[in-house]
Amino acid sequence: MHLLNPRFLRQRAHILEAIRAWFSQHGYLEVHTPALVPAGAMEPHLQPIQVGSLQLHTSPEFAMKRVLAAGLGRIYQIASCFREEESGTHHAREFTMLEWYRVGAGTPELMDEVESLIGAAARAVDRPPPLFQRRAVSSLIRADQRPEDWFFEWVDQVEPTLTAPTIVWGYPPWQAALSRTIGTVADRFEVYLGGMELANAFAEETAADTLRERIQDADATRAASGRPPHPVDTGFLDAVDRMPRCAGIALGIDRLVMALTGAQTISEVQVLPSPSAESIT
């Protein structure tokens, strides 16, 4: 049986209050988009939860980009997200994600914002703001490897060393996902805090044809592993061509609370953990 931890839940509430205050102070508008969507993901490794003919979103990204295309320039959302086959110390089938987008910004501006936001969250629970170092991927791992070799070395040998607050930037182009590429790198970064990957940020790709090609490549990877292709969200692709230059970032609220409170598992900082995280009788 899962026992609720009142201390962690109070701290979670204080962190969420500080997050909303930060966005209000910085001119962001909170939005809400549906959790049931035509396509829940595009990445080959993500498995959405099917609900009839629709899927539960793995992040609100596709829908929020439609909001950007409609003309709102600074938006954020705190949303329940869902991923099948994810359960563990740092993973849950249902979790809380903070996602925000800023028109006219690039990854350097979002690096500054995420450091400021995490600092505000830390102060809300009487913790000093983390002091982040910024590291290029090329300083951590060799680029001249096959993608599968690069990935396994990253997970097994590099990520375990990222225990200090760190922002890592300059990923190889085959890891671009929905980010634009500049020369030989994807214009994106990831944030590590408390030994966990906490956030993932992109300078957003705004060419729908480029994203269609990446979706096809991702589906080929899924097919090779025996998985069906992801459905295609045509409304999202139509909106991409109308999107202005912008950058966006997704941050795991549960992991942030873990990192700032000392909780050891994701279920400790959820009001009720997702069903896969505990026995149901």
Higher pLDDT, 85 or 115: 115
Categorize the per-residue pLDDT at 271 as very low, low, confident or very high, splitting at 50, 70 and 90: confident
State the pLDDT at residue 5: 85
Dihedrals φ, ψ of 74, to 5°? Answer: -135, 105
Categorize the per-residue pLDDT at 281 as very low, low, confident or very high, splitting at 50, 70 and 90: very low
State the pLDDT at residue 117: 98
- Output the average pLDDT for the chain: 93
Instruction: Look up the pTM and report it.
Output: 0.93
Cα 81 off chain centre by: 10
For 116, the token pair is 């400021």
Q: How far apart are the two ends of the chain, measured CA to CA in Å? A: 10
Question: What percent of the chain lies above the pLDDT cut of 90?
Answer: 86
DSSP 49: E
Domains of the chain, CATH where assigned: 6-277 (3.30.930.10)
Higher pLDDT, 276 or 127: 127
Distance (Å, whole) CA 96 – CA 83 = 11
Beta strands in 194-275 (DSSP E): 196-203, 246-252
Q: What is the pLDDT of residues 75-110, one digit of tens each?
A: 999 999 999 976 778 889 999 999 999 999 999 999
CB crowding 52-78: b at 16 or more within 10 Å, else e = eebbbbbbbbbbbbbbbbeeeebbbbb
How are beta strands 133-136 and 166-171 bridged, if at all?
A: parallel
pLDDT, average across residues 204-223? 94
For 58, the token pair is 């793995």
Given strand 36-37, what is the order of strands in its sheet? 36-37, 54-56, 49-51
Q: What is the pLDDT of residues 148-188, one digit of tens each?
A: 899 999 999 999 999 999 999 999 999 999 999 999 999 99
**Of 247, 241, 119, nearest to 189 (Cα)?**
247
State the pLDDT at residue 280: 39
Distance (Å, whole) CA 43 – CA 129 = 32
Dihedrals φ, ψ of 80, to 5°? Answer: -75, 130
Categorize the per-residue pLDDT at 34 as very low, low, confident or very high, splitting at 50, 70 and 90: very high
